Amino acid sequence: MCGQFHTHLRIIPNCYIEIRRKHFRFSGMGRNHRLFFATDVHGSEICFRKFLNAPKLYQVDTLVLGGDITGKVIVPIVETAPGKFVTTFLDIKQEFDQDKLKAFEEKITNSGYYPYHATEDQMKSLKNDRSNVDKLFLKLMIERLESWVKLTEETFKGKAVVCYITGGNDDPYEISEALNKSKRVQDPEERVVQLDDEHEMISLGYSNPTPWKLPRDVSEEVLAEKIEAMTSKVQNMPTCVFNLHVPPKESMLDQCPLLDGSVDPPKPVSSGGQPVFAGAGSKAVLDAIQKHQPLLGLHGHIHESRAAQKFGRTLCLNPGSEYSEGILRGAIVTYNEKKILSYQFTSG
Ligand SMILES: [Fe+2]
């Protein structure tokens, strides 16, 4: 039978695709797909480069990067005299010469921070006006994302790879424009996208409220509405992937130290000298998974809660994050049109 189909391939290429699909359905085997998911890289250059290496390393055909892709810290570098630089990194003041500059910038870029060359006057201006800091953050975030999009294009030139990159609750809305400048990269936020012939994916970077009151923190009610707006458009729910930044509430995927958000900055709550752990995930996400029972849930947000858990037929994964160490944590998932065949957490 296969020989006949291959004959069709040579004569009528378009028909081959259709015939092959029917053949696999007839045999009940389904075509296998391999997806690589990583999340919460928070601006780390080396983590993103490792992410782009996944198709070659793990033979995956779909790449999904979950939310919280931008960095949290600007590291000003001030030139105090020609070729002499001073900076404060991780609360430690450092002075170095021109020949050490590149290595220092690389180190902080790989940790997800943004090096920023500033004069003494520019530093004063930043200290005096918070809005200048916000503008600078946005500029540096967008510059790095644009360089990542360019790198993605170069890496997958001539290959049929689409890289789905989603924002998270930590990411400003403005980043979407930077992500959508290339055909190789798609920001699938609040949309249903077709991963392949059989699998759709919905994506949401919003979170239930956090102690930090971040750009995409919303109430559980709003989260539920946003998820429902997408699920109502899904054609085939049993094969759908839920790429939802926040993990389901009170699960193995959402455990972290409980924080007191009434103080600034929020402080860990302790009891008997020990930190109190609690689930920081979302009830709306849990309810949606339990109600719709999709094939797969891809989550992040809680870096320290790397885990897999099944909710009915749905496998939910949070690969965790160790971006500040330059370590990319991820998950490879193999699946067909009916079920998950295997999954494996990665770290490297
Ligand atoms: Fe997050």
Token pair recorded at residue 129: 């006006």
Nearest to residue 191, comparing CAs of 234, 136, 157, 162? 234
> In this predicted structure, what is the pLDDT of residue 1?
29
> In this predicted structure, what is the pLDDT of residue 30?
58
Ligand 1 centroid to residue 273 C-alpha, Å: 27
Ligand 1 centroid to residue 188 C-alpha, Å: 17
Ligand 1 centroid to residue 125 C-alpha, Å: 30
> In this predicted structure, what is the pLDDT of residue 263?
87
> In this predicted structure, what is the pLDDT of residue 261?
84
Ligand 1 centroid to residue 212 C-alpha, Å: 10
φ, ψ for residue 345 (rounded to 5)?
-80, 145
> In this predicted structure, what is the pLDDT of residue 83?
93
Mode of pairing for the β-strands spanning 255-257 and 277-279: antiparallel
Ligand 1 centroid to residue 119 C-alpha, Å: 33
> In this predicted structure, what is the pLDDT of residue 49?
98
Q: Is 237 exposed, middle or buried (0-12, 13-18, 19+ CB in 10 A)?
A: middle
Ligand 1 centroid to residue 233 C-alpha, Å: 25
Mode of pairing for the β-strands spanning 329-335 and 267-268: unpaired
> In this predicted structure, what is the pLDDT of residue 230?
98
Q: What is the 3-state secondary structure (H, E, C) of 133-179?
A: HHHHHHHHHHHHHHHHHHHHHHHCCCCCCCEEECCCCCCCCCHHHHH
> In this predicted structure, what is the pLDDT of residue 90?
84
Q: Which long-range contacts (CB under 8 A, 24 or more apart) does 133-137 make?
A: 133/74, 136/74, 137/74
**How far from the centroid of its chain's Cα atoms is residue 85's Cα?**
34
> In this predicted structure, what is the pLDDT of residue 19?
29
- CA trace torsion 36, 42, 43, 49 (10° rounding): -20
Averaged in consecutive runs of 10 residues, what is the pLDDT profile of the chain (348 residues)?
A: 28 29 38 95 98 95 96 94 91 92 95 93 86 93 97 93 94 92 92 96 97 92 98 98 98 94 88 91 98 98 97 98 97 96 97
What's the predicted TM-score (pTM) here? 0.89
> In this predicted structure, what is the pLDDT of residue 213?
86
> In this predicted structure, what is the pLDDT of residue 23?
31
Ligand 1 centroid to residue 69 C-alpha, Å: 9
Element (H, E) at 250: none
Bridge partners, 325 (sequence order):
none
> In this predicted structure, what is the pLDDT of residue 144?
97
> In this predicted structure, what is the pLDDT of residue 15?
28
Q: CA 81, CA 83: separation in Å to the nearest integer?
A: 6
Token pair recorded at residue 51: 């992410």
Ligand 1 centroid to residue 104 C-alpha, Å: 27
Q: CA 278, CA 273: separation in Å to the nearest integer?
A: 16
Ligand 1 centroid to residue 29 C-alpha, Å: 37
First to last CA, the chain: 43
Ligand 1 centroid to residue 67 C-alpha, Å: 7
